[in-house]
Amino acid sequence: MKFLFLIFFSIEVIYSNVEKPSILIFNQYDEDLIGTSVANHFPSKNFVKGENINPFLGSLDSLTNPASGRMFLVKDLGSELDVDYILFHQISGDSNRFMLEGQMFNTRSGGLIKRRIVDITNYYKGQMNELKLWIGDVFREVDKEWVSQRKQVLYNEPSQIIQDKTPEGAMARSLLLPGWGQFYSDAYNSGIVFSGLESVLLTSVLVSYLNYNKSVQEFKKYSKLYEESSEQIEFDKYRVLSNSEWEKHKKYNSALIYTSIASGSLWLINGIHAYIVGPRPKKDIIQKWDVAIPKQK
């Protein structure tokens, strides 16, 4: 019964354009929002509007094999309605988000031949244009005006979008200079904390090293004087001084090691922290086609 409605609406189109590829199109969106039908933009194609959209609403990624998961449904529809392709569009979103999923099936094989997921924030008045670009991409009939329109509101090519600030960039900066990545990510408080703590620890490392170095020099000097002294009053004095400097050089060496470990660890933590708090877009502007989406149980 459900397909009778489809036949009723599409029969005239099918028989008037026998030579053109026929496409059964299922749209799940508000026509008023999108505006004119996409069929008007592709006069060389014979569009048949499908009515019962429900079989296509389930997530494609939840199927064992997304490419062939709807094979029987697509083939049945193809033979029943005598169409070459089936196009399914789903548009959802709120006031500042536009999400489009486009799926293209071949009715002869029943397989998915093309798919596109578009997820854009703050993309106003471009929904219909994005839909046209997707269908145009499918049929290789992209109008330059559509590309030009996208350029005006979005980017030339979604795959070429380069984020100005990235978590990797923040981490790289913090590994070079503690706190830099946090400042770069506008996390000023943690930037101040990390740069301050690291400065204190590095100063401690430097002070420990200078004291260690001084103690070593003094130890060598007093050891030499001790060995060169034949009189008891002198070598007694130099032995005490030499032992004292030797103890100091051990103490400063330990301080140097511990402050270096602390400084190095904090430096590393600061890099990881910068990656965690690093700037990220709130949503992916354009999802890649090969994004692995967890399958529903």
Partner 1 sequence: MGCCDPKTKITDQVRLYFTVILILSFLSCTIYDNNLDNPNDNEANEELGVYPPSLVFFPKQQTKTLTDTIRLGAYIVFSDTSIISFSGAHLNIQYDNSMLEIDSLAPGWIGPGSMTDSNRTTPLFTYTENSGQLDIYAYYLSTSDVSIDSVTHIAEIWFKPKSTGTSTVSYDTSLCEIVKFDENFIPINGTREASIIIQ
Interacting residues with partner 1 (CB under 8 A): 166, 168-169, 171-172, 175-176, 209, 212, 216, 219-220, 223, 226-232, 235-236, 239, 242-243, 246, 249-250, 253, 256-257, 260, 264, 267-268, 271
Give the nearer residue to partner 1 in terms of CB position, either 250 or 295.
Answer: 250
Give the nearer residue to partner 1 in terms of CB position, either 26 or 226.
Answer: 226
Residue 178 Cβ vs partner 1, minimum distance, rounded to whole Å: 11
Residue 204 Cβ vs partner 1, minimum distance, rounded to whole Å: 13
Give the nearer residue to partner 1 in terms of CB position, either 54 or 163.
Answer: 163
Tokens of 29: 């969106």
Residue 155 Cβ vs partner 1, minimum distance, rounded to whole Å: 20
Residue 208 Cβ vs partner 1, minimum distance, rounded to whole Å: 9
Give the nearer residue to partner 1 in terms of CB position, either 57 or 176.
Answer: 176
Greatest Cα pair distance in the chain: 123
Burial 144-170 (b: 16+ CB within 10 A, else e): eebeebbeeebeeebeeeeeeebbebb
Distance, in Å, from the CA atom of 167 to the CA atom of 286, rounded to the nearest integer, reads 18
SS (H, E, C) 95-162: CCEEEEEEEEEECCCCCEEEEEEEEEECCCCCHHHHHHHHHHHHHCCCCHHHHHHHHHHCCCCHHHCC
CB 212 within 8 A of CB 256: yes
CB 124 within 8 A of CB 153: yes
Residue 213: HSE in the Cβ half-sphere, 13 Å Cα cutoff = 6
Residue 270 Cβ vs partner 1, minimum distance, rounded to whole Å: 11
CB 33 within 8 A of CB 128: no
Give the nearer residue to partner 1 in terms of CB position, either 29 or 246.
Answer: 246
Helix (H) or strand (E) holding 53: none
Give the nearer residue to partner 1 in terms of CB position, either 37 or 243.
Answer: 243
Residue 246 Cβ vs partner 1, minimum distance, rounded to whole Å: 4
Tokens of 171: 């981490």
